[in-house]
Amino acid sequence: MSDSIKIFAPATVANVSCGFDIFGLAVDQPGDEVILRKRNDDQIVITKITGDQGKLTYDSRKNTVTVPIIEFLRTIESNQGFDVELHKQMPLGSGLGSSSASSVAGVFAANQLLGLPLSVSELLPFSMEGERVACGAAHADNVAPALLGGFVVIRSYDPLDFIKINTPRELYVSIVHPDIEVNTKDARHILRQEAGIKIIIAQMGNVAGMIAGLMTSDYELIGRSMVDHLIEPKRAILIPYFNEVKEAALQNGALGASISGAGPSIFAFSKGKEQAEIVGKSMSAVFNKAGIETNLFVSGINQNGPKIID
């Protein structure tokens, strides 16, 4: 059995418009890489972090990559220690599940090196602890798709119950990340409100429509269901030019567009890769015209989740 392993875990789009805290999907790029090496003691030591501009802590009790590992080892009653390298390949606070990718890669790597004592699905509660460290809430809409791949529905948090949904083969995601930062905790704080019954009913209809559209490959229904009455109107004010970027996506053939996670990244669904590339470029152009640099990612739905690189 190997003493070291290198894992890639993918970025994710959470909420997916109408599914706040219950919908999430994985993409091919970007993502994070984690290298684990066994130690001869029981210590969990972060030896190297890159790509974070010096923002992340080396304290293993406070970093999203190591907290899940510590909880995992405690549960399986293992005294194995690890040296941990974290290579961030996406911006922090991007709305792309940066903390989730780190959490998933770390615990997935530990499980592999110890001979798979738990199934992949059983790793989800540990990955969620990384989210608790990152934003104060152990939600699963990013970590579940990062861990399992595909489009995941979190049906219940207590008890934890999740379902992986089939998605159409030609469904592509365009993600534009502007060079601005939205703090996840701030983005959640702004949501503290109550909603009227009519708005809740409308939201439930879109949630149901999204699932039906995905499972029947009804692209138009997917697009019609990408209406968020609860979260997007609040969070949009934190993202400059959001309305203009969304309109550009729709005008250039997107099925729909919304905020990825807590933002500031904005995503759009399209039918086909070529269409998704056109949509993505149109979204970036709005930010670029305003003097804001962007990163553009175009991807199908990543069905695999984390993968062993070395």
Q: Which two tokens stand for residue 17?
A: 């418009």
* pLDDT tens, position by position, 197-214: 898 899 999 999 999 999
* pLDDT tens, position by position, 7-32: 999 999 999 999 999 999 999 999 99
User: Per the confidence metrics, is the pTM higher than 0.85?
Assistant: yes
| Domain ranges within the chain, ordered by starting residue | 4-165, 171-300
Q: Which residue has the tokens 């609040």?
A: 234
Instruction: Give CA separation, 145 vs 7, 23, 270, 309, in Å.
Output: 16, 9, 20, 19
Rounded to an integer, what distance in angstroms lies between the CA atom of residue 251 and that of residue 253?
Answer: 6
Radius of gyration of the chain (CA): 19
Rounded to an integer, what distance in angstroms lies between the CA atom of residue 265 and that of residue 212?
Answer: 26
Class of domain 4-165: alpha beta
Rounded to an integer, what distance in angstroms lies between the CA atom of residue 200 and that of residue 248?
Answer: 28
Residue 267 near residue 97, CB atoms below 8 Å? no
pLDDT at 130: 84
Which is more confidently placed, 41 or 187? Answer: 41
CATH architecture assigned to 171-300: 2-Layer Sandwich (3.30)
Residues catalogued as catalytic: 131, 184
Rounded to an integer, what distance in angstroms lies between the CA atom of residue 3 and that of residue 5?
Answer: 7
* pLDDT tens, position by position, 144-183: 999 999 999 999 998 999 999 999 999 999 999 999 876 5
Residue 31 near residue 12, CB atoms below 8 Å? no
Residue 43 near residue 37, CB atoms below 8 Å? no
Q: What is the phi-psi region of residue 295: left when phi exceeds 0, alpha when psi lies from -120 to 50, beta otherwise?
A: beta
Secondary structure of 254-299 as H, E, C letters: CCEEEECCCCCCEEEEEECHHHHHHHHHHHHHHHHHCCCCEEEEEE
Strand pairing class (82-88; 171-178) = unpaired
Centre a 10 Å sphere on the Cβ of residue 242 and count the other Cβ atoms it contains.
Answer: 21
Half-sphere exposure of 23 (CA within 13 A, CB side): 25
Non-local CB neighbours of 122 within 8 Å, separated by 6+ positions: none
Element (H, E) at 157: strand 151-157
Q: Which residue has the tokens 């089939």?
A: 166
Half-sphere exposure of 245 (CA within 13 A, CB side): 32
Percent of the chain with pLDDT over 90: 81
